[in-house]
Amino acid sequence: MQTTGNTILITGGTSGLGLAFAEEFLKRGNKVIICGRRKDRLGALQKTHPGLAAIECDIADEKQREMLAEKVIREFPGVNMLMNNAGVQLAVDLTSPVKAERIRAEIETNLVAPIHLATLFVKHLASQSNPAILTVSSGLAFCPIAFMPIYCATKAAIHSYCLSLRYQMRNTPVKIFEIIPPSVDTELGHERRTDKTQTHGGMPVAAFLSEAMEAIENDLLEAPVADAKGLRSKGEAMFPVMNR
């Protein structure tokens, strides 16, 4: 996969892996568009990252996803790559009643949004050169951590979806990548922590990014990174280890 000279939309691009990918693709000479909910953060990133395009959008909202796709295709007609990266990771106690809206919010962001957004772009992408849809799943798709069951279930569903999408797109030029991170040192899951600036440890972002970009360059369409390789190969056999 050519990683220079592309135009790429990255969801959840204001922090964490999304921002790291955005910075890396910018360094490689690509046009990068990020979207996110935090208008102030988007503006600040545009000031510190010349050439970065930013669009305010809550991808959990169906109408905003539709407006995002229409705007990107209209204003950046050369867009040839979509990276579905945005995600929410919440702790959920399944032994007590859980508000359905809380469950829906996590599923909408992690599963419904990437599926819907991809459908809004597939025809356009198929008409471009070097087209790809890159979806960020998780090693937890293959072995869940029980205290965040909805997140893990959505990532398992994303893996299944990527298999089906890849098959349905097999007669088009669009490459379907599933990037499978291990635990990476980002702010993902900060919603459940008292200190919202605290990260959860894990693999350094730079090390993750190096391996992930190498996988993309080498057309490794299903790309588990570092410890995620073990989760992918051993699956639920790792459950007692992950949850002890």
What residues does 222 pair with on adjacent strands? 178
Exactly one of 142, 151, 161, 177 is catalytic; name it: 151
- What tokens does 243 get? 């949850």
Rounded Cα distance, 75 and 124, in Å? 13
Rounded Cα distance, 191 and 82, in Å? 26
Alpha helices in 78-224 (DSSP H): 100-107, 113-126, 149-168, 205-217
Whole-number CA gyration radius for the chain: 17
Catalytic residue status for 151: yes
Contact 89, 188 (CB under 8 A): yes
Rounded Cα distance, 235 and 180, in Å? 13
How many CA atoms does the CB half-sphere of 7 hold within 13 Å? 16
C-alpha angle 167/82/156, rounded to 5°?
55
Q: DSSP letters of 9-29?
A: EEETTTSHHHHHHHHHHHHTT
Residues recognised as catalytic: 151
